[in-house]
A = this chain, B = another copy of it.
Amino acid sequence: MFHKFELMKIALAQINTIIGAISHNREKIVDFSRKAVEKGADIVIFPELALCGYPPTDQIYFDLLESELKILVEQTANLPITIIVGSITEQKKGKPFNSLIVIREGKILHRYHKVLLPDYDVFDENRYFTAGVPQHPVEINGIKVGFTICEDIWIMDPDLKPIYDVNPLEPLKNADVVVNISGSPFSIGHPARRLNVITETARFTNSVVAYVNHVGAQTDLIFDGRSCVVYPDGTIEALAPAFQEALVVAEIKQSGTFPPFVGEPWIEDIHSALVVGIRDFFSKKGLKKAYVGLSGGIDSSVVCSLAVEALGSENVVGVLMPSQFTSNESIEDAEQLAKNLGIETYTIPITEPYERIVKTLQENVWDDKPFDVTEENIQARIRMIYLHALSNKLGGVILNTSNKSELATGYGTLYGDMAGALSVLGDVYKTWVYRLARVINQQHGNIIPERVMTKPPSAELRPNQTDQDTLPPYDILDTVLIRYIEMHEPASRIAEATGINIETVKSIINMVNRNEYKRYQAPPILRVTSKAFGIGRRMPIVGLFETTLK
């Protein structure tokens, strides 16, 4: 088997597609196929649903995809290479298949249809597709090639194995090569878990696995690529880089390994993912300029730094919007950050409009009521008005700076600091934001002022406020949140496992539950954990949560 394979060069085409931009994606497929020919490859492999982009969403109901596929076949007819590409095909039983297509010089040689359709977390594939049936390997250029699409090999994952009845790998034992085309989004820990699945697939089938993943961001979902070729003994042959497009030609003697997943490199992975997430959101929407409200706090400092990395300092504008509650330190820190980043800033005080609104309410509704959350929210919402006025008048969009701990507990103002086109840190817990700041400073030379990382966090919406007036200490808070949100543990189990007081645990869970309504209206959130807020987590707005509090 290896002998034959040595005679063959397989190109892994790890591309960044745009959902629904079929012409654009097709041009890219033709372009990468041509480059693969130039590199002497016999086969070039593209990701799952590369033609329409992944995930295709409800656009699938406007089905013209067989005819679009036909154009691709025609456009590559003159290229002496076998092309393996993902596409939607054939309406069967009211729903199409999620297919792998083998194309060679103007002909479709073979079709394989995805067998295992995932429905957990962010996936909705039974909504869109009819399941295929397992197939035996097919001979291509004298080599026995088995086909699989993404989830088909996750039957090798111990957590997922029990939910499926069929093992699509069963007929693929002792193939020469097993191809897997994927749309496998990044989350921390996922690359290691995925590599394990690929390795187990190679072992189970006793075949070389050629794995090709998407790269780049699709609004909230960020694909890390990391396409690879893996041998049955676990040797990693050819590894495409993370978070960037690549055309990697697999050669047998070349070797490589995944970067080790030890220590804290997951923070660096989050860093890369968020930069890609911002960059692709802007580039795919044809946007240039980003506004970030700079409070002098850690969240806005980190978002602004990431935005500069993704978009360039010339495309990021910092907006300082001080009130009577803003400390001089906060203004200094925000200004220092902007100076370090080399970005333009505006300073627009909110005090006068704030006082005018409070006075109008007093004149027309209540005479004299004590300061409370009402006045805090008014401040946050005036800042939202300023930011969006800049966006409307001067172009560009607002980056949201809420972190996951705030979103979880509802510690933020809906239509205020919760507003924006894209939430950069909405899947990053507060304690992680600090780590991210350190990584940014290590890589870019202390951009974020030291004081930002050491002073107590505060929303500065009333005198001497700190986050810990309202919330438990962030290390306790995040410990509970991770177990509740990502591991679905009820209160008693969390208290038992962590030693944190059960009443504290319940009060945190109650905060999460009570604030579903706020998160429902939050911006799309860049996903970096296994359970981000958004489409992957579905909880009622109206309802009780009895079982979560047991």
Determine, out of A241-249, A429-437, A541-549, the stretch whose residues face the partner at the interface. A541-549
CB-based nearest B residue for A493: B62
B421 touches A415 (CB 8 A): no
A346 → chain B closest CB, angstroms: 5
In whole angstroms, what is the CA distance A139 to B317 when docked? 73
Task: Out of B285, B347, B356, B547, name the residue touching A352 (CB < 8 Å).
Answer: B356
- A1 contacts which chain B residues (CB < 8 A)? none
Q: Does A390 contact B (CB under 8 A)?
A: yes
Task: Out of B65, B218, B374, name the residue touching A542 (CB < 8 Å).
Answer: B218
B59 touches A547 (CB 8 A): yes
- A365 contacts which chain B residues (CB < 8 A)? 346, 348, 390, 393-394
Q: Does A253 contact B (CB under 8 A)?
A: no
Please encode chain A, from 5 to 49, with 1 for each CB lying within 8 Å of some chain B CB and 0 for all others: 000000000000011111110000000000000000000000000
Determine, out of A107-115, A180-188, A379-387, A471-479, the stretch whose residues face the partner at the interface. A379-387
Task: Out of B21, B61, B386, B421, name the residue touching A543 (CB < 8 Å).
Answer: B21
- A77 contacts which chain B residues (CB < 8 A)? none
A545 touches B20 (CB 8 A): yes
Q: Does A261 contact B (CB under 8 A)?
A: no
CB-based nearest B residue for A351: B360
Q: How large is the interface on A (under 10, 10 to 19, 20 to 34, 35 or more residues)?
A: 35 or more
CB-based nearest B residue for A129: B119
A420 → chain B closest CB, angstroms: 9
Q: Does A389 contact B (CB under 8 A)?
A: yes
- A390 contacts which chain B residues (CB < 8 A)? 365
CB-based nearest B residue for A24: B544
Which residue of A374, A415, A524 has the most chain B CB atoms within 10 A of its CB atom? A415
Q: Does A357 contact B (CB under 8 A)?
A: yes
In whole angstroms, what is the CA distance A119 to B540 when docked? 18
- 5 additional contacts, CB 8 Å, given A19-B543, A353-B357, A381-B388? A18-B543, A59-B547, A62-B490, A126-B126, A361-B393
* Chain A contacts to B: CB under 8 angstroms: 18-24, 53, 55, 57-59, 61-65, 93-95, 117, 119-120, 124, 126-127, 130, 159-160, 162-165, 217-219, 280-281, 284-285, 346-349, 352-353, 356-357, 360-361, 364-366, 369, 372-374, 377-378, 381-382, 384-386, 388-390, 392-394, 414-415, 419, 421, 488, 490, 517, 520-524, 535, 537-548, 550
